[in-house]
Structure 1
Amino acid sequence: MHGFEFLDEIVLLCFAGLAVILVFQRFRLPPIIGLITAGLLIGPSGFGLVREGAVITAISELGVVMLLFTIGLEFSLEDLKRLRKIVLLGGPLQVTLSTIVIGGGALIAASLTGQAISLNGAILIGMSMALSSTAICIKMLKDRRELGMPHGRAVMGILIFQDIAVVPMMIIVTLLTSDSTIEIADVVLRIFTLIGVTVGLVVGLRFVLPRLVPYVTRVSAPEVLILGGLALCFGAAWITSTAGISMALGAFIAGVAIAGSEEGHAIGKVMEPMRDAFTSMFFLSVGLLVQVSWTWLPVNMVTAMLVLIANGIVVMIVLASIRVNLRTAVMAGVILAQVGEFSFVLATVGVEYGVITSTDFQNMLVSIIFTMIVTPTLVTLAPVIAERITPLTRFFPRFRKWDIDDTNGAIRLGTNAEKDNDGPTVMIVGAGILGRNVATVLRETGISYRILELDRENVAAQRAVGEPVISGDVTDEHALQAAGVAHASVVIIGISDQTAITQGVQLVRKIRPDVLIIVRCRYARDSESALQRGADEVVVEEFESSIKVFTAVLSHLGVDVSMIEQQEEAMREDMKVRSERRINVAR
């Protein structure tokens, strides 16, 4: 019976995905890559256990619809406001330039190899390859605790625009038909249909949901919210599909319409398991769709490498051109170099509308998957790559000018700048809570200081209140000199980027062997690297908070103060001994 065949294939997909993910976890590879690999193994290119095209198509479409719905739920206008410069300026520049570079490269490669590819096909390939993987990038940055760092915020800004750009891109793909002529009236009709359906859905949901949800939330059963979320997701998808627009677009609009509201949070929370299941099935279905050709495999690998290089360079240049710190731009470029899951969506639509051939589609899928597979390695190497590339800016004075506010030695400072010409007594790296608090105490006690801050918005905010702050990177010798490291008696490093901390300590110690270097680290395991490279004192947040906690507990329980102090001293001594032991072993 057909129903049992369908069930057999679902069971095979689930078990294959589970087995491969468990193996991949041992090698710290992203689950997404494991899911795609599992689909590849049991699909037509592997053991051929799943061959039913209708089932594959249905799973893939439902996965895309659910994926875009959850992206819509997580979309925040507040995020857009915070990252508006990167989102509204850097994002469009990156997508446009990547599309031109990769699309143009596809045309050139086709002409050199004698392959046939249309201009419309090249545009589709360029647009598809310009999109990075939101799922992979965000997951890896979260795991590495780097999402809140400058390069993490830059990556997030570009990804936000890319997620937004998917929707108009899908409209563009439907216009890139194989027909040589496109009726202007048809284009106008589609645009007005899109606007009308979008406005109708958003207004309708905003009007209906506040009146409907109170009745739904009275029922404590979570099944009600789950079914309500599914009805909303697939209902909106059905409406847009009926209007001749992508189902995924309708799901995305539905998600955005309730994002940020109480009902949106509630639906998103209860639908998390459902979301993970659907997105897992989507990536499994991607693997099923891939048909590896050994003849084309070397070409696919070379294509993947060229796309990685092109995307990385474009992101780096775009971010640097809008005055994002160069090290941040390089790291963001490396992380965003891969091609993402929404590229599958665009490529699938392109095949349906005859913009590209099925052979082009398969070659794109294989190349995209290659870029995804190498992403974990690239993310790990991003700080090293940035360290190697940043010094090359001496050949590009314009980038150096953008990277620090030091033009011909004239540094723009606030009203609290030191009055002497010998530079600051204390140099503070990072204008976060620690940096600002230290600056306040130094100002009140009459000690001169200067702050070096990477985030330009934070620099502007601190200058507005009169702080002596300049924009620059602690890993850049020019920035350190501009901040007065040559004259400082103390250097305090209070940033969160562990790689930048270790590189900064090493560079400061190289410039000033005699200066006192005090470093703040979040975790105990990070302190050894700073001490090895020359830090005199490392304050570990994790360790200090543990002392505060047990001191509060013992005080509440009436333990004598001298006993508490003995315990604190013993713990600090133990921490010091263990750190020295690990440093000696590392040496």
Structure 2
Amino acid sequence: MHNFDFLGALSLIGAIAVAIILIFQRLRIPPVIGLIFTGIILGPSGIGVVYDKELISVLAELGVVLLLFTIGLEFSLDDLKRLKRIVLVGGIVQILVTGLAISCLSFWFMLMIGRAITVSAAVFLGFAFSVSSTAICLKILSDRDELTLPHGRIALGILIFQDIAVVPLMIGIDLLNPQAAIPFGMLFKKISLIILFSAGIFFSFRFLMPKLVRVIASLHAREVLVIGGLVICFGAAYLTSLAGLSLALGSFIAGMVIASTDESHQISVSIDPFREAFTSIFFISVGLLLDVSVINLPLFVAIALVVLLVKGILVAGVSLFLGNSPRVSMMAGMALAQIGEFSFVLAETALKNHVIDHELFQSMLAIIVVTMIVTPAMISLAPKFADQVAPALGFIPLVSKENPSHGVRPPDSTIICAGEIHASIVGFGVNGQNVAAVLHATNISYSILEIDRETVKNMRKKGEPIYYGDCTDKKALLRAGVDHARAVVIGVSDAAAVRKSIAVIREINQKAYIIVRARTLDDVAALYRAGADVVVTEKFETSIQIFSLLLNHFTVAPELILEQQEIIRRECEKIFSGSMPVPAVK
């Protein structure tokens, strides 16, 4: 008879996880922390009732693969091209600077506590700790709708490079092995084969996968769509693993390649339940790995906090080097400060190659897990922390300072009054571009503030009066002329940044009529409290557009449709701003 003991373990894990998450939700603690805490309770550091760690590890790996596949579905190859500077420059600099800095600190610290390690071991520790957690970072940023924000794009770009860096890091461990000497010719041949194989796989994905997706979708069978989506995801991951690359990188590339197809949304929806289930097991597996005595735990926690601090500062420095604002750089640093799940694999490989001993291996695992556990809280606190600390870092010179002499308004605009800008647009996404187009067409002057350097560069070539800067930075807002604008339109997606921006705008221009875009109704009250005159909610306005089209289809009089629109908007404003002071327009 078959042995199904693992079902009991999975059932116990699921039951405990649900109970803990329910408790944590009442305490307003993110579910991810509840899942990690479940693993700690059931693992060797807790009651120790889960023994089949190999099965849990396999299921957890599948969760990471599915997570990266669905995230890839939200990006296209064009999106990746826009990240190329972050991937190629930011990724390389981050790995090298972090690796070397932590290597030196590790060697010095171990020497100071009387447990000296070899230079090879110190170098390994530095580069193993330079890798961040793709699964945790992207999961939390995705849940918070922050992947498309500037700090989210920085995190994604650096994480992509870190996954690509898997191969040289693994080869590097072979070179650090004191008992083995690899000839240069053999090393060159190995690297060349990996590069050629990887290029072949990528171009195969590029040309074959979109066709395969269309064939699967054309069958119009949900079962085939689910199985086909899983086959594409796991098949791509397996092929990249043959080249020595990570499973997660393969699934991400596969998702990104088919993101441009019309069927990508269907595939994403069909495999979402599998992704959520297996990703949850991954977070539980992180807690199961923690196996330390209470006596050593304070030391490991202290070391983990130092690693988080050093790595966070270095990543923020790399972001500043790329020309991002202090606020965005700090948020990116806090998101990538932890040590990644791939470091577990590196540690096991280093142990087998005699680069580190078993004691150092166990210490590494404990430090890695501690950094992962605190990551959800760090990402949640990052916006508030950056808002408080970033102003104090204004002395740091950003790359490519703005040219103050750059024109403010199109040459054919109507000048309302000398030295006055009629409108300022903060954030030049789709909404900002539409507003600018209408203002230009109606001969109304405007200026633009945008944080994406590539967008600023491209729009300046087209003659737009655009400035680079963070919407929370007073100097950037002044440079864009917001202090004497009659109206300000804020089209930024980061709710925390928008609230901070409104406060700064009110400080420098109390008369400005501020119109803000909000993603959800949950943000409306806070934006009104911050000082916005009008808050336009995406989902709310969509519902108004839908019922307006429906009434129009039923040949309802246009006057009545407009009346119903005003009634709905008035009721919404009463709910969110009726009892709150809204700044008057003077």
For normalisation by structure 1, the TM-score amounts to: 0.84
1:273 offset after TM fit, Å?
5.0
The residue that corresponds to 2:308 in the other structure is 308
- 1:463 matched to 2:483: no
> Does the aligned pair in 1 maintain the 2:414–2:444 contact within 8 Å?
no
> How far apart, in 1, do the equivalents of 2:559 and 2:234 lie?
64
Distance 1:288 1:71, change over 3 A: same
Contact 1:66/1:251 (8 A) holds in 2: no
- Check whether the contact 2:163–2:249 (CA below 8 A) recurs between aligned residues: no
Q: Deviations over 1:201-222 (max 9, x none)?
A: 6678889989999699879553
C-alpha deviation, 1:147, in angstroms: 2.0
Change in Cα spacing, 1:371 to 1:540, as seen in structure 2 (3 Å) is same
Residues 1:480 and 2:492 aligned together = no
Taking the aligned partners of 1:122 and 1:474, their CA distance within structure 2 comes to: 41
Distance in 2, Cα, partners of 1:22 & 1:330? 32
Separation of aligned partners in 2, 1:584 and 1:488: 22
Partner AA of 2:379 in structure 1? V
Q: What amino acid sits opposite 1:459 in the alignment? A: V
CA 257–503 in structure 1, closer or farther in 2 if over 3 Å, else same? closer
Number of aligned positions between the proteins: 571
Closer/same/farther in 2, CA of residues 273 and 436 from structure 1, 3 Å limit: closer
The corresponding residue for 1:332 is 332
Instruction: Read off the aligned partner of 2:489 and give its amino acid letter.
Output: I
Q: Please state whether the residue corresponding to 2:517 is helix, strand or coil.
A: strand
Tell me the secondary structure at the aligned position of residue 473 of structure 1: coil
Alpha-carbon distance between aligned partners in 1 of 2:46 and 2:327, rounded to the nearest angstrom: 42
| Counterparts in 2 of 1:469 and 1:149: CA distance versus 1, 3 Å | same
Call closer, same or farther: CA 1:159–1:577 in 2, change over 3 Å. Answer: same
Tell me what 2:380 maps to. Answer: 380
| 2:160 aligned with 1:165 | no
Match of 1:518 in 2: 515
Q: Distance in 2 between matches of 1:463 and 1:417?
A: 16
Deviations along 1:529-566, one digit per CA (max 9) or x if unpaired, are: 33323333333333333322222222322434444344
Work out whether residues 225 and 270 of structure 1, in 8 Å CA contact, stay in contact via their aligned partners in 2.
no
Q: State the SS of the aligned residue for 1:517.
A: strand
Which string of whole-angstrom CA distances, capped at 9 and with x for unpartnered residues, describes residues 99-150 of structure 1? Answer: 1222221111101111132222222222222222222222222222222222
Match of 1:410 in 2: 405
What's the secondary structure of 1:395's corresponding residue?
coil
Q: Which residue of 1 aligns with 2:498?
A: 501
Opposite residue 382 of structure 1, the aligned amino acid is A
Question: Is contact 2:237–2:249 with CA below 8 Å preserved after alignment?
Answer: no
Q: Distance in 2 between matches of 1:215 and 1:453?
A: 41
Cα 1:192–1:438 shift into 2, 3 Å: closer
What CA distance in whole angstroms lies between the structure 2 residues aligned with 1:442 and 1:200? 49
> Which range moved further: 188-197 or 39-48?
188-197
Q: State the alpha-carbon separation in 2 of the partners of residues 260 and 327 from structure 1.
A: 32
Q: How does 1:264-303 map to 2 (within 5 A)?
A: 278-303=278-303
Partner of residue 123, structure 1: 123
* CA displacement at 1:474 relative to structure 2: 2.2
Q: Which stretch shows the higher mean deviation, 300-309 or 354-363?
A: 354-363
Describe how 1:348-497 pairs up with structure 2 within 5 A.
348-396=348-396, 398-399=397-398, 402=400, 405-406=402-403, 409-411=404-406, 416=411, 422-497=419-494
| Match in the other structure for 1:194 | 194
Q: Aligned AA for 1:493?
A: I
Decide whether the 8 Å contact of 1:450 with 1:483 is kept in 2: yes
Gaps of 5+ in 1: none
Residue aligning to 1:531: 528
Aligned in 2, Cα 1:41/1:211: closer, same or farther, shift over 3 Å? same
**Relative to structure 2, which stretch is displaced further, 119-128 or 308-317?**
119-128
Secondary structure (helix, strand or coil) at the match of 1:425 reads strand
The one-letter code sitting in structure 1 at the alignment partner of 2:501 is G
Contact 2:238 2:250 in 1 (8 A): no
CA distance in 1, matches of 2:311, 2:105: 12
How far the C-alpha of 1:467 sits from its partner, in A, is 1.0
Amino acid at match of 2:37: T
Deviations 1:154-197 (A, max 9, x none): 22222222222223322322332243754434433532453465
C-alpha RMSD of the superposition:
3.8
Asked if the contact 1:68–1:249 (Cα under 8 Å) also holds between the matched residues in 2, the reply is: no
Deviation at 1:200, TM superposition (A): 6.6
Is contact 1:202-1:254 (8 Å) kept? Answer: no
Taking the aligned partners of 2:2 and 2:175, their CA distance within structure 1 comes to: 37
Tell me how far 1:466 sits from its aligned partner. Answer: 0.8
Q: Is the 8 A contact 2:64 2:135 kept in 1?
A: no
Secondary structure of the residue aligned to 1:451 is strand
Q: Distance in 1 between matches of 2:358 and 2:108?
A: 20
Any residues of structure 2 matched to 1:74-223 within 5 Å, and which? 75=72, 77-179=77-179, 181-195=181-195, 198=198, 222=224
Identify if the C-alpha distance between structure 1 residues 200 and 556 changes in structure 2 by more than 3 Å, giving closer, same or farther: closer
Shift of 1:63: 4.2
What percent of counterpart residues are identical? 39
| Larger deviation, residues 78-87 vs 272-281 | 272-281
**Amino acid paired to 1:291:** D
Quick one: which amino acid aligns to residue 129 of structure 1? Answer: F
Is the 2:106–2:122 contact (alpha carbons within 8 Å) kept by the matching residues of 1? yes
Deviation, 1:301, is 1.0
**Structure 1, 260-269 or 416-425: larger mean CA deviation:** 260-269
CA distance in 2, matches of 1:227, 1:517: 47
**What secondary structure, in the 3-state scheme, does the structure 2 residue paired with 1:174 have?**
helix
Q: What residue identity is the alignment partner of 1:501?
A: V
| Cα distance change on mapping 1:537 and 1:31 into 2, 3 Å | closer
Greater displacement, 362-371 / 310-319 = 362-371
What is the CA–CA distance in structure 2 between the aligned matches of 1:512 and 1:219, rounded to whole Å? 57
